[in-house]
Amino acid sequence: MRRFDIAVLAAVTLSTALTAGPAQAAAPVRDIDHCTATACHFDLPPGTYDVRVLLGGPAASSTAIGGETRRALLPETAAPAGARVARSFTVDVRTPEGEPTGPDGTPGLDLAIGGSAPALADIRVTPARHTRQIFLIGDSTVCDQPGDPYTGWGQQLPQYLRQGVSVANYADSGESTVSYLADPRLWDTVRPRIRRGDLVLIQLAHNDKTTDGATYRANLETLVSGVRERGGRPVLVTPVVRRWFNADGTLNNGTALLVNGLGVDHPAVVRAVAADRDVPLVDLTARTKALVESLGVEGSKALYLYNEKRDNTHTSERGATAYAGIVRDELLAQGLVPRGLVRVG
């Protein structure tokens, strides 16, 4: 029973014992017994769990693992024929399992086994200890989007992290700095869960269309102060750009670069607060602007949902994965996450 927490398996073991003959001992339940060829389900309470998988089979394989509300937890990993490859990651299990204002989702931990030639040989799930937590505060460009093809960059970030650090994505569609602070399901829920040393990434701007500059800045400062009061480490993130081009192939200085109708330059305010309050900054506006402009009008369509929805704000899985990779690179470059806990290949 060392392979799984006894409390977690109590209900399953009891069920097995009741159906066995009086002279038979209950067969031990292994973690892999909770899986089919395409999915695993574990009846677990909310918490943080380490997952160790053994990938591979008789033929060459290539396996990716997702979970909960369409989170990417492990990138596609190849194993030669007859070989086994071990990988591990840490996952946040909570209710609601996706957006904080969304439906509860399925209780417990759900994993999806995918990839071009998936092969899961074994799996072990245990309660995590000494885990670093990365909280995400943001909008629809960050959140765990429930429906394909929409994908937030926070949904793709976990695959870039190894066992020992988890992503708790509390981004929510449609939120501004004003609404995030006002809704008890959001800031009032996140703040008490922040522990000393936890990172809290804050990217709010897309929906602050009618927020004046003084209020926007004050709201960011409130979030920064609240994180620090809990012993956490705030990280300000400028918003991802919208795909809105000028005739010369550059991005529009207003719509694309998040300047609202009141003339508030959101990225500039974020940068100023970061400098004035000595907060680490991930300048995602600058980095995504450079990427989108380098790909051009046509090439950049694949990063967004232009082809599917004529949507130049929300990212596709490809775009969200690229933007999550930028965030990963910035966290690593600034020493905010130890190199040993980051997947770089």
Q: 219 and 294 in one domain?
A: yes
CATH number, domain with residue 250: 3.40.50.1110
Whole-angstrom Cα distance, residue 123 to residue 111?
Answer: 11
Q: Which two tokens stand for residue 67?
A: 């979970």
Q: 242 and 230 in one domain?
A: yes
Backbone angles phi, psi at 212, to 5 degrees: -75, 165
Range of the domain at 95: 33-129
> Given CA atoms 100, 105, 108, 112 in this order, what sign does their dihedral have?
negative
Q: What is the pTM (predicted TM-score) of this model?
A: 0.91
Sheet holding 85-93, edge to edge: 85-93, 47-55, 120-127
Whole-angstrom Cα distance, residue 338 to residue 37?
Answer: 34
Each residue's pLDDT tens digit in the chain (345 positions)? Answer: 333 333 333 333 323 332 333 444 555 668 999 999 999 999 999 999 999 999 999 999 999 999 999 999 999 999 999 999 999 999 999 999 999 999 999 999 999 999 999 999 999 999 999 899 999 999 999 999 999 999 999 999 999 999 999 999 999 999 999 999 999 999 999 999 999 999 999 999 999 999 999 999 999 999 999 999 999 999 999 999 999 999 999 999 999 999 999 999 999 999 999 999 999 999 999 999 999 999 999 999 999 999 999 999 999 999 999 999 999 999 999 999 999 999 987
**Domain final residue, candidates 74, 109, 129:** 129
Q: 60 and 156 in one domain?
A: no
Q: 142 and 109 in one domain?
A: no
Q: 247 and 313 in one domain?
A: yes
Residue closest to 47 by CA, chosen among 168, 200, 164: 168
Q: 278 and 161 in one domain?
A: yes
Q: 181 and 99 in one domain?
A: no
**Domain final residue, candidates 98, 129, 160:** 129
Q: 121 and 216 in one domain?
A: no
Q: 271 and 177 in one domain?
A: yes
